[in-house]
């Protein structure tokens, strides 16, 4: 009985200390931000209830988008090599093949209408800064036309699933700026262009699943400004599903042994438990002679 009392005192002291230096300290150092919003409710310029016409969208895309953007899966190759594109625009313009799949519909429509507002980068592209985002606003288009473009992009997006989707989404959503050394992925925009474009070389994401963790990434990717005010990383507008694919890919790359760790862990605990029980029985046998 006395030994249980001692154990309780130790558990209490260790527990209080642990609570203070882990959950409590984290709560103080990383205050909670508003939850991730995957419907991008703040964007209201385009009525997304309008049904888009993909055929009309194709005409609009050919007239307005493919001068800069590749849409490889729909038969529109890149106009120039990445290095030249980066030199011309500051950053390599995205291939729109998967845009209809990975970006939220409301976000995509409002992005076409006014990219800087959608990305939450108004703080960077102020009139005083003299900087302009390389893509113009298509706010002169009617909402119907914008929804036609969205419908077209959704119609050409190939279906991908599983690990293939994890990598494809990561490359499409993050790969123009970020390296992922441990997966052999290098940003399509050359380093020097990137530095001039964003002000700093975007970090390598190999270990971000460890250094930032899933919880942080979940909020951060959805809206970077909330957790890192003033960052030049845009809000990219991924659907919840696409964002989960990105995070899954970061985990496959940065914590590739997770499954092995968790399954082995169970066996080691079981082994240790059996050892502890046997040790207890042996101790009782030995001590029965001296007590």
In DSSP notation, 260-271 reads HHHHHHHHHHHH
- 254-283 residues in contact with another protein (CB under 8 A) are 256-257, 260-262, 264-265, 268-269, 272-273, 275-280, 282-283
Kindly list the distances between the CA atom of residue 34 and the CA atoms of 31, 181, 219, 239, 276, in Å, as whole numbers in the listed order: 10, 32, 8, 17, 46
Q: Residues 40, 104: contact at Cβ < 8 Å? A: yes
Which position among 66, 72, 182, 201 is part of the footprint of another protein (CB under 8 A)?
A: 182
Our CB check for another protein shows the closer of 195 and 273 to be 273
- Least distance from another protein to the Cβ atom of residue 269, Å: 6
Q: How far apart are CA 204 and CA 225, in angstroms?
A: 19
Q: State the nearest-atom distance from the C-beta of 193 to another protein, in Å.
A: 21
- The whole-angstrom separation of Cα 95 and Cα 262 is 38
Residues in the chain: 291
CB 232 within 8 A of CB 269: no
24 binds another protein (CB under 8 A): yes
Give the range of 22-30, 50-58, 64-72, 151-159 binding another protein by CB under 8 A: 22-30
CB of 42 to another protein, least distance (A): 27
Which residues fall within 8 angstroms of residue 144, CB to CB, at 6 or more apart? 50, 52
Pick the binder of another protein from 13, 55, 83, 132 (CB under 8 A): 13
CA-based end-to-end distance of the chain: 16
Told to check if 29 binds another protein by CB under 8 A, we report yes
Could you give the CA distance from residue 174 to residue 220 in angstroms, rounded to a whole number? 13
Is residue 1 a contact point for another protein (CB under 8 A)? no
Give least dist CB 131 to another protein, A.
24
Could you say which of 195, 211, 241, 259 contacts another protein (CB under 8 A)?
Answer: 211
Q: Three-state SS for 273?
A: helix
Residues that bind another protein (CB under 8 A): 2-3, 6-7, 10, 13-14, 16-18, 20-22, 24-25, 28-29, 181-182, 203, 206-207, 210-213, 256-257, 260-262, 264-265, 268-269, 272-273, 275-280, 282-283, 286-287, 289-291
């Amino acid at each position: 009985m006395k030994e249980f009392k001692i154990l309780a005192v130790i558990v209490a002291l260790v527990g209080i200390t642990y609570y203070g230096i882990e959950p409590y300290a984290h709560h103080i150092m990383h205050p909670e931000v508003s939850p991730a919003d995957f419907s991008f409710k703040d964007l209201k310029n385009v009525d997304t209830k309008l049904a888009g016409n993909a055929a009309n969208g194709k005409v609009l895309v050919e007239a307005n988008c493919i001068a800069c953007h590749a849409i490889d899966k729909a038969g529109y190759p890149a106009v120039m090599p990445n290095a030249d594109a980066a030199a011309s625009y500051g950053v390599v313009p995205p291939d729109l093949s998967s845009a209809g799949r990975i970006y939220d519909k409301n976000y995509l429509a409002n992005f076409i209408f006014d990219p800087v507002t959608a990305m939450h980068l108004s703080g960077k592209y102020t009139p005083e800064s003299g900087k302009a985002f390389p893509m113009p606003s298509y706010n002169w288009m009617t909402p119907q036309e914008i929804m036609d473009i969205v419908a077209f992009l959704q119609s050409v997006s190939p279906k991908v699933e599983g690990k293939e989707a994890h990598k494809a989404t990561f490359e499409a959503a993050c790969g123009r700026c970020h390296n992922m050394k441990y997966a052999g992925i290098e940003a399509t925009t050359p380093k020097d262009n990137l530095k001039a474009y964003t002000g700093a070389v975007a970090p390598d994401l190999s270990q971000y699943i460890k250094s930032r963790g899933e919880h942080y990434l979940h909020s951060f990717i959805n809206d970077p400004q909330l957790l890192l005010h003033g960052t030049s990383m845009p809000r990219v507008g991924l659907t919840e599903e696409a964002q989960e694919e990105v995070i899954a890919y970061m985990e496959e790359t940065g914590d590739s042994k997770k499954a092995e760790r968790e399954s082995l862990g169970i066996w080691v605990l079981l082994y240790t438990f059996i050892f502890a029980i046997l040790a207890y029985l042996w101790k009782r046998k030995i001590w029965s002679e001296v007590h």
